[in-house]
Structure 1
Amino acid sequence: MSPSRTPSRRVLASATAVTALSLTAALSTALPAAAEATGPVIGEVYGGGGNSGAELRNDFVELGNPTDAAVGLDGWSVQYLPARPGDSTRVQVTPLGGAIEPGTSYLVRQGAGAGGSVDLPAPDAAGGTAMAAGSGVVLLVEGTEPVACRTAAECAEEEGVADLVGYGSATVFEGAPAPGLSNTTSAARDADLTDTGDNAADFTAGAPAPTNAAGETAGDGGGTDPEDPVEPGDLRVHDVQGTTRSSPLEGETVSGLPGVVTAVNAFGSARGFWFQDTEGDGDPRTSEALFVFTGSTTPDVSVGDEVLAAGRVSEYRPASGSQSITQLDRARWTVVSEGNDVPESLDLGGDTIPDTYAPDHGGDTTDRELEPDTYALDFWEAHEHMLVRVEDAPVIGATDPYDALWVTAKPDENRTVNGGTHYGSYDEPNTGRVKIESLLDLERHPFPRADVGDTLTGVTEGPVYYSRFGGYLVRATTMGELAPGGLERVPARDAERYEVTVATYNVENLDGQDDQAKFDELAQGVVDYLGTPDIIGLEEIQDSSGPTDDGTVDPDVTLDRLVAAIEDQGGPSYEWRQISPQDGQDGGQPGGNIRNAFLFNPEHVRFVDVEGGDATTAVEVTEGPRGAELSVSPGRIEPQDEAWDDSRKPLVGHFRAKGRDLYVVTNHFNSKGGDPSLHGVQQPPVRTSEVQRNAQARLVRQFAEDLLAVDPEANLIVMGDLNDFPFSPTLDILTADGLLANPMDALPEEERYNYVFDGNSQALDHILVNGVLADRMDYDVVRVNSEFHDQVSDHDPQVLWFDIRRGPPHRP
């Protein structure tokens, strides 16, 4: 039994208290006295493992025990939060076990990067957390339930938090944050593990020095390199791969694995080669290929070489919750012969890939027996590293900035109007989607610049691999020829003189320091394709200095440059309205102070300004002589409600067009970024971020109900990047009981999308209207971005036309 203990009260401070802390430090040269040690502490943190320039392959957290008694760690955990956690942030938890003796270390190995050449000593506990190199938050917790705290004050009060280190620009820390780190530096306490309750005072940056409970340091205790294999061993590749997602031989050194080299990765920091057994065991669950990881060294092998390989079996997990990649590291090999035929690739067409995506397992599928004939994810895992091919494959996801695109092996699967693949329900994630990257020299073989609807003709072939970005993919050694599909940008129709036009547009982190080309392209979209709407709700407007975290919150430069660019393109002289957030409180790109904004054409509509709107004041609906009135305009909906923590607040505006009132709410709901991916080990993935979006939707709905209670005939539009699908609970909350209608529902199913992610054409942006508008409006998605490789934003705008004449006039 470990001795019982009560964690000492931690002294934490939020980022808003940094100025006060600095002033206090300037007035007093004495540091806080070290508290009497009552249990283990975090001794060192390092998040640069496997990154560019790093020697170590893994991130790590090292614990120390400054007390005079052993402490049992069964039921404890190390937990990780990003530098700026929010309510929807997913806590990454690594369970601990065993005990930590007095005066010793306890090493927790975390995620590996693609680089590095030195292994940690044998860890005392291991997780897969990909810690950030520069800034983050590490907690030592007496328990394994994820912490609920997201601020320094909350963590100081949360039961079970025994120690905490915030480093770099972290907003959660003790006292003040530890130094910002890099790929080659860690933050560590002194040899006495001094703990004053101030991370800045207790931790210094230096070269990482991981030490385990046995006293071993980097390079010790990790086994020895294998000898060059000269004869086939007792094991084959399928023995290493096994029948589950992780190898039954993980951590063991194997030798004499025979196979033929099928591909070589000669670029980047994750170099190596693939080899495939030409015989196999006939078991559809076991892959017959492996990847040999050689770090930043190009292996001296060629396609067609017959090799005998040896090395340590390892599982590389690109990110927490992702699938792992079975590979050999510390590898040696012998080339037995050259110029051999490679195994025939597997054609992915037809019924090769199962129609069911993943099992309804209810948790982590890592150790579950594979069923490759039943589930698509099991199929990919059972063919990990093996050669596969697609032929005459339709492009369903345009070429991205990282030289990758998406095709489908099932051309008839939920086809969209432009040749993509429509994502229409949680039950149909579209199993034919395949990501394509290239192993070819891109200077000699440039990656195709493809749009949705193009075709990779002929054969595209290569080994199956896995990335945290998109999941299983084909690393192409042969790339098909691109046949254009003729996709064109089509402008919205012209508005009639009696119509008011309203649009929503996510402009993807537009800030005042962006190149003029981005402003010009957005302006061209507004003028030539949207037809200069009377009102535009903008999402992802940043402050004038953008991601530079200098305290700027106002967006004057950003919005003035956009308005000027529209005018230069022949558009009207728009005016704008917005409310600046509190610095660092609305999520998004750190330093950018993202928010929503309105543009409007004062020649067609008038903005009804009501002073008093600011970052923390809630808009209220009142009844005035003309009907519904807003207490502030522009205003924000319940901005201090916890539903909006670390998230963009809705912007409400009161407009007057042709003698009639119009109320518009533009939104940017909580991101899906913290959710497990469709292709991860958690099946089915838990939509953790949905909780916050649902709470946000309820607040917006309440505002709509309040407005319509005062004036049931009011013209109301709720729009923006709601970050959820038409079939989601979030949209159900807003449209329940007919309160609001979604005009996208009236489009043919193959047209219900405005965003393409991982080859799925889906809808995240919406324009919702109340019943008064629903029968006198027209609606369209203006497809200028999501399906094109040369997009200025990753979202397509939408436009709504409505006949203002048919609405009720103002009450006198």
Structure 2
Amino acid sequence: MKIATFNVENLDYDETPGNEAFANRLTPLRQMLIRIDADILCLQEVHSQKNDDNEKKLDALIELIEGTPYHDYHRQHTTTADGQPMHERNLIVLSKYPFAESEPQQYNADLIPDLMYRKVTAIPAEVNADPLSWERPILHCQIMHPELGRVHVINLHLKSKLATAIPGQQSQNWYTWDSAAAWGEGFFLSSIKRVGQALETRVLLDELFNTEPEAKIIVCGDLNAEPGEVPVELICGKMENTNNPALHNRVLVPCSEGIAESVRHSHFHHGQGNLLDHMLISQALLPYFDGAKILNETLHDESLAYRTDEKYPASDHAPFIATFRK
């Protein structure tokens, strides 16, 4: 079994189907999907498009995978309350193997109590605390593998490190702040959201282990955090942190540990390679783990000057692939 996670970076038609920007992205993205050649493919940042009946569809995704084996794969994705794909940043799971009869589950601050927060730099000043939630849900799918049986796949896209907007503190544009303190509070709020999503993922994992101690679980996606940072540590639940050997069976193992440090990066920022995309597996899958790799040979750095999407139509993330033997 080969499973991959890939942030395709804002997959959208932008304005109308067949526009030039999307057409320029089709070839490099499709070539990468073919090269990945996964049995299970988890995607992030897939946007939806409205049809003539004002229904949201995943037309850009369908066009991207046309002519590839993924076109015939089983598919599950995140949805809004009315069952339609989300407007932006859908999570997608494409599987050669059938999904279990149970519907996919998604969680968005559902497994932890509401967090309350009052912004201290907002203009005008906020008097009361409001609920603090995140717009990026967790997608939990169950796949029936012919030899491994039930495999839980949890697809994630945690909050980015871009600072959360603060009312009255960005008078010029989205990227320009009126005070360093306001930017700092926005950065702090984004950190809370990212760690909150990670906490909710760990709560979900513990619930799965409570009912299925030997659960075969894969947590993958763009965590916007590197190994050793709080979100990754929280989801893994290492014994070095809990100091409880009884929880050993609930520890997730980073597949990146099997990749040489010199090529252990899936993203570039200001010339520095970092590992934001992860594959974390439960102990029950570890005996079958055969290796991992990151397809980062052509990865580019969009954070540098003049690095526009027009010049670099491929994704700014590299796919992360893990393979499992019988």
TM-score, normalization by structure 2: 0.71
Residue matched to 1:537: 42
Secondary structure of 1:606's counterpart equals: coil
User: 1:667 Cα deviation (Å)?
Assistant: 0.6
Separation in structure 2 between the aligned mates of residue 565 and residue 649 of structure 1, nearest angstrom: 30
Separation in structure 1 between the aligned mates of residue 315 and residue 203 of structure 2, nearest angstrom: 31
User: 1:553 Cα deviation (Å)?
Assistant: 6.3
Residue matched to 1:558: 60
For the aligned residue pairs, the C-alpha RMSD in angstroms reads 3.1
Q: Given that residues 25 and 313 in structure 2 are in contact (C-alpha distance below 8 angstroms), is that contact kept between their aligned partners in structure 1?
A: no
Equivalences for residues 463-474 of structure 1 within 5 A: none
Separation in structure 2 between the aligned mates of residue 785 and residue 791 of structure 1, nearest angstrom: 12
Q: Given that residues 525 and 784 in structure 1 are in contact (C-alpha distance below 8 angstroms), is that contact kept between their aligned partners in structure 2?
A: no
Q: Given that residues 255 and 322 in structure 2 are in contact (C-alpha distance below 8 angstroms), is that contact kept between their aligned partners in structure 1?
A: no
Q: Given that residues 74 and 98 in structure 2 are in contact (C-alpha distance below 8 angstroms), is that contact kept between their aligned partners in structure 1?
A: no
Separation in structure 2 between the aligned mates of residue 645 and residue 561 of structure 1, nearest angstrom: 33
Q: Given that residues 511 and 545 in structure 1 are in contact (C-alpha distance below 8 angstroms), is that contact kept between their aligned partners in structure 2?
A: no
Residue 252 (structure 2) pairs with residue 740 (structure 1)? yes
Bigger Cα Rg: 1
Q: Of the candidates 79, 85, 88, which is equivalent to residue 593 of structure 1?
A: 88
Secondary structure of 1:560's counterpart equals: helix
User: 1:635 Cα deviation (Å)?
Assistant: 1.3
Secondary structure of 1:581's counterpart equals: coil
Residue 80 (structure 2) pairs with residue 581 (structure 1)? yes
Q: Of the candidates 313, 322, 326, which is equivalent to residue 800 of structure 1?
A: 322
Q: Given that residues 553 and 581 in structure 1 are in contact (C-alpha distance below 8 angstroms), is that contact kept between their aligned partners in structure 2?
A: no
Deviations 1:425-451 (A, max 9, x none): xxxxxxxxxxxxxxxxxxxxxxxxxxx
Deviations 1:209-251 (A, max 9, x none): xxxxxxxxxxxxxxxxxxxxxxxxxxxxxxxxxxxxxxxxxxx
Q: Given that residues 785 and 794 in structure 1 are in contact (C-alpha distance below 8 angstroms), is that contact kept between their aligned partners in structure 2?
A: no
Secondary structure of 1:691's counterpart equals: helix
Aligned length in residues: 262
Residue matched to 1:653: 141
Residue matched to 2:155: 666
User: 1:638 Cα deviation (Å)?
Assistant: 4.6
Change (3 A) 1:639 1:698: closer
Q: Given that residues 100 and 143 in structure 2 are in contact (C-alpha distance below 8 angstroms), is that contact kept between their aligned partners in structure 1?
A: yes
Q: Of the candidates 224, 237, 243, which is equivalent to residue 723 of structure 1?
A: 224
User: 1:572 Cα deviation (Å)?
Assistant: 6.3
Residue 2 (structure 2) pairs with residue 501 (structure 1)? yes
Secondary structure of 1:519's counterpart equals: helix
Separation in structure 2 between the aligned mates of residue 759 and residue 557 of structure 1, nearest angstrom: 34
Change (3 A) 1:669 1:647: same
Q: Given that residues 235 and 252 in structure 2 are in contact (C-alpha distance below 8 angstroms), is that contact kept between their aligned partners in structure 1?
A: yes
Query: Percent identity between the aligned chains?
Result: 22
Q: Which letter does structure 2 place at the counterpart of 1:511?
A: D
Separation in structure 2 between the aligned mates of residue 794 and residue 672 of structure 1, nearest angstrom: 15
Separation in structure 2 between the aligned mates of residue 582 and residue 796 of structure 1, nearest angstrom: 31
Q: Which letter does structure 1 place at the counterpart of 2:4?
A: A
Q: Given that residues 288 and 324 in structure 2 are in contact (C-alpha distance below 8 angstroms), is that contact kept between their aligned partners in structure 1?
A: yes
Equivalences for residues 5-44 of structure 1 within 5 A: none
Q: Of the candidates 187, 201, 207, which is equivalent to residue 706 of structure 1?
A: 207
Separation in structure 1 between the aligned mates of residue 55 and residue 322 of structure 2, nearest angstrom: 31
Residue matched to 2:294: 781
Q: Which letter does structure 1 place at the counterpart of 2:315?
A: S
Residue matched to 1:519: 26
More helix by share: 2
Separation in structure 2 between the aligned mates of residue 647 and residue 556 of structure 1, nearest angstrom: 19
Q: Given that residues 40 and 94 in structure 2 are in contact (C-alpha distance below 8 angstroms), is that contact kept between their aligned partners in structure 1?
A: yes
Change (3 A) 1:552 1:703: farther
Structure 1's unaligned 5+ residue stretches are: 1-499, 611-632, 806-812
Change (3 A) 1:592 1:638: closer
Separation in structure 2 between the aligned mates of residue 695 and residue 534 of structure 1, nearest angstrom: 30
Deviations 1:478-508 (A, max 9, x none): xxxxxxxxxxxxxxxxxxxxxx111101111
Q: Of the candidates 605, 609, 612, which is equivalent to residue 101 of structure 2?
A: 609
Change (3 A) 1:592 1:728: same
Q: Given that residues 296 and 318 in structure 2 are in contact (C-alpha distance below 8 angstroms), is that contact kept between their aligned partners in structure 1?
A: yes
Deviations 1:166-192 (A, max 9, x none): xxxxxxxxxxxxxxxxxxxxxxxxxxx
Higher relative contact order (CA 8 A, sep 6+): 2
